[in-house]
Structure formats: C-alpha cells, structure tokens
Structure 1
Amino acid sequence: MKLIWIISLFCIPVLSFGQTQPNTTKPAFEAEILAFEKVDKVALTPPNPIVFTGSSSIRLWENLAEYFPKKTVLNRGFGGSQLSDVLRYADRVIVRYRPKQVVIYAGENDVASGKVTGQQTYERLVALFQYVRQKLPNVTFSFISLKPSPSRRKYFPEMDVANQLIKDYLAKQKNTQFIDIRPVMLTPAGQPVPELFKPDSLHMLPAGYQRWAKVVGPYLK
C-alpha cells in the first residue's frame, strides 16, 4: 500500500504538467486579421464604409475602390476562408468598422471542401447574418452568389442548393440583398465562361471582376 502511495506522488506532477501545457497554435487566418489591424493603426479607415469580406474572390479584388470610385469601400477579404471563418472574425473584419453595408462572398470553399453540404452552407450563412444583424441592426447585408468556377464543376449541384436556400432566406429578411453574379459568368449553354478565369480555373481575371462590378455596383449604398 505504501509503495502504491509513493508511485502516485511521482505520477501526479507529470500528469498535471501534461494537462496544463498551453496551446500555442494560432487559429486559422489569425495572421491575416492581425495584418488588417496593423494597417488600421497607421491608416485612417473611413467612417461607415461598405465592407467587402469573404474568401479569395474578395481578397484578390485588390483595386476594389477603382471599380467603385463614388463609393467608400473597404476590402477585408482573406483567402481560403469559409463562412464559419467569417463568422469567427466578424467582430474584427465587419463590426468594428460600423459599416453601412457589408458585402459577403463566402461559401464556395465550404462546399468545395467536400465536407459541407449546400444545406450546411446555407445554415452557416444564416448564423453569420443573425450575428451581424444583432451587432449592427441597421446594416445592409448583401450576399454575392457562389460563382461557377470551372475547377469546381462537380460541386455545382450543392452550390446551387446553397444559392437557392440563401436567396429564399434573404428575401424574407429586411435590408438584405442577394446579388446573383452567375448569369454574367455563364455562356448561353449554361457553362462557365473560361476567359473570366486564371489558369487555375478558380480565381478570376480582371475580365471577371469587370463583370462582377457591373452587377454589384447598383446594389451599393
């Protein structure tokens, strides 16, 4: 019995040490968000801007302000993100700027992960919308439809499900917009226009953003 008690004394510190080790792994995209915050410390952000956020289709729209010179726009996209990531960082990429409008493009990566259905993507959007609306009751909430990227053709059916569910949901909410960019990105036969995409068949060339701007522009406040 005494031997067991002595062994236990040696085990307790080891177990306790293992249990109290700090988790030093940074959350995904933390570096990108910190970079935004660093910029904000040295550059004055405009009051009540139109915040664009979401995945790489927003992040790579680097000259966003040139497309909308009469609007006060702020790009806070971070590539590779999913709707769940936008929700996680909503306070830091949306709410803190007190925007008059937020334009979201996210959800494509969710579906393309192969682990998230169109239904689940819709549910993620609803969670994001409800959070933003709670924090910013008067903000205009705009969602850009998931685009038809040729490299993700096999996911089109699930993306269509997500788009339709999101469109129907936002139609029932106040001060919301579903911005459908698919018609200007498809041929008459319903296929993606290849000239709009980079060689990876995922990210867009300037020609793609020019078409987006023509569709998105009229929705901006």
Structure 2
Amino acid sequence: MKKVLSAFLLLSFIILFSQEKKPMFWQDIQSFKKSDQEHTPPADAILLIGSSSFTKWTDVSSYFPNKTIINRGFGGSRLTDLNYYANDLLNPYQPKQIIIYCGENDFADNDQLKAKEVVNRYKTFYTKIREKFPDIEVDYISIKYSPSREKLWPQMKKANKKIASFMKKEKNAEYIDITKVMEDAQGNVRKDLFVEDMLHMTPEGYKLWTSVMKPYMK
C-alpha cells in the first residue's frame, strides 16, 4: 500500500511540475492557430490586431461588407502582448493592410505608466510589422476615452498625440482618430456609446467607428 501511495505521489509531483505555466493569452493565440488550420486565411485581407474593442467586434465584416477582414483582436491585450506574440500575429498572414487598436489596457494595467512608454511599445510593434511587411498600409486607431478610465485620459491623450505625430512621418501609415466622433456637441464623451461597464462599446459606437475608418480601408 505504501509503495502504491508513494508511486502515486511521485506521479502527481511529476505531472504538477512538468506542466509549464502558459503565458497570458496563450489560449487565444492557440485558438487563432486552430482557426487558421481549419480555414486557410485569405490573402490580401485587412488584418485587425489589438485588444477587446476588436475582440468584441465579432460582426465586423457586416460593417464592411465589401472588405475581406481577418480579426485577430484578443482579450484585454496590451502592446506588450502584441510584441510578445508578434510572430504568431503576423507570420500566418499576407495582408494588404493592418489596422491596430491597442494601448488602452497598457495604461489600465499600470496607472503610473507614462505616455512615452506606451508610444515606445507601439513603435516596437510597428517595427516588427515593417520587418515583415515593409510596404503595406499600416494604420493605428486612436485610444478611445472610456468613461470607466477617465483618470487615465491625460496620459492617453498624450500617447495619442505622440503616435499621431509618429504615424504622420511614416510611409504608407495613417493615424485614425475616432475620439471626435465619440463626443457630443459639447465635446464630452458620449456615455450612451458604451455598454454597462463603460468600457466596451455598443453597436452604435462601432457604427461611428466604421464611418471614420471607411476612408482608410484598402
């Protein structure tokens, strides 16, 4: 009996320590890989990469019926996550355009984070894109000002301004500002464009995004 118990404990110990702890969002990336294996990704598509504002836009193709779109938004990802999984997010595809929405969660993850650091994280990811796709269109959607994160707005606004300036100097690159269209006549962020958590958007919010994004879509 003691031998059986010892063997069981030893086996449990081996299993416990042989299971490598998976990095954050690992499962999301595996889901993308599985999807790509089951359905070959179309070439010359518009590739969306970013956080939950893309993840939750599950019907994005219906907003752009004449476009071929691959949505690779995942969880509450940060720019650090985009950099970590860059190969997985870029290598399987041959897009004609990449549109990024990310950076909001970087500030939410660390409310002491400065705009300069977020901008540097974005530049790192942008460089990774250019190493693989030197000539395609690359666009960045401005960080939206979610009501639930109002205390982070000052640094978000600085980051938006710096990224806009950076993208203006780049070839085949655009900064897509969705902040204005989400304001009311008095210049206040429209809370009715957000669901109960005051973070994620309603269909009307996505409709407004669509109106701004369309002129930039290849």
Q: Which residue among 126, 135, 139 is the counterpart of 1:138?
A: 135
TM-score w.r.t. length of structure 2: 0.89
The one-letter code of the counterpart of 1:201 is: M
**Any gaps of 5 or more consecutive residues in structure 1?**
1-20
> Are residues 200 and 42 of structure 1, via their aligned partners in 2, closer, same or farther at CA, if it must alter by over 3 Å?
same
The one-letter code of the counterpart of 1:130 is: T
> Are residues 84 and 97 of structure 1, via their aligned partners in 2, closer, same or farther at CA, if it must alter by over 3 Å?
same
Mapped contact 1:47–1:98 kept (Cα < 8 A):
yes
The one-letter code of the counterpart of 1:60 is: K
2:49 aligns with 53
2:13 aligns with none
Mapped contact 1:95–1:136 kept (Cα < 8 A):
no
> After TM superposition, which residue ranges in structure 1, 4 or more long, deviate above 4 angstroms?
none
1:155 aligns with 152
Q: Deviations over 1:146-175 (max 9, x none)?
A: 001000111110000100000001111111
SS at match of 1:74: strand
Correspondence 1:68 to 2:64: yes
SS at match of 1:97: coil
Correspondence 1:92 to 2:88: yes
Deviation (angstroms), 1:75: 0.4
Mapped contact 1:50–1:102 kept (Cα < 8 A):
yes
Q: Which residue among 29, 32, 38 is the counterpart of 1:33?
A: 29
Query: Which stretch shows the higher mean deviation, 115-124 or 152-161?
Result: 115-124
**Counterparts of 1:193 and 1:45, CA distance in 2:** 36
**Counterparts of 1:110 and 1:196, CA distance in 2:** 22
Aligned residues with identical type, % of pairs: 40
The one-letter code of the counterpart of 2:132 is: K
**Any gaps of 5 or more consecutive residues in structure 2?**
1-16
The one-letter code of the counterpart of 2:137 is: T
**Counterparts of 1:94 and 1:64, CA distance in 2:** 20
Mapped contact 1:181–1:215 kept (Cα < 8 A):
yes
Q: How many residues align?
A: 201
**Counterparts of 1:180 and 1:211, CA distance in 2:** 11
SS at match of 1:96: coil
Rg larger in 1 or in 2? Answer: 1
Correspondence 1:194 to 2:194: no
